[in-house]
Amino acid sequence: MRQEPDNTLVELKQYRESIDNLDAALVYLLAERFKVTKRVGYFKSKNELPPADKAREEKQIQRLRTLARSAQLDPDFTEKLLGFITREVINHHERARR
């Protein structure tokens, strides 16, 4: 180690506090996003629309890849993450139909 253990711990602790703050913000934003997609699910079910919409998903992917690039975030990772969230949303929609 090139630094004193105490300084190392302090610096790492500060980074982790920032990560924890950002994670809390992410959780609350995601919760809000699921509130909206839940409404979409209910709406689609009521109007007999299919849970998935490929054209909409393709638009979302391209938009998020552009946003990711402007934020210096890896567009492939961002696309994979959206896919992960979307699959959860579709599971919710399918459960709501049963």
Interface positions with its own copies (CB under 8 A): 1-3, 8, 11-12, 15-16, 18-20, 22-37, 39-40, 43, 46-49, 56, 60, 63-64, 67-68, 71-74, 77-78, 80-82, 84-85, 88
Least distance in angstroms from the C-beta of 2 to its own copies: 7
Give the nearest distance from C-beta 71 to its own copies in angstroms.
4
Contacts 24+ apart (CB under 8 A), 35-42: 37/89, 37/92, 37/93, 38/92, 38/96, 40/93, 41/89, 41/92, 41/93, 41/96, 42/96
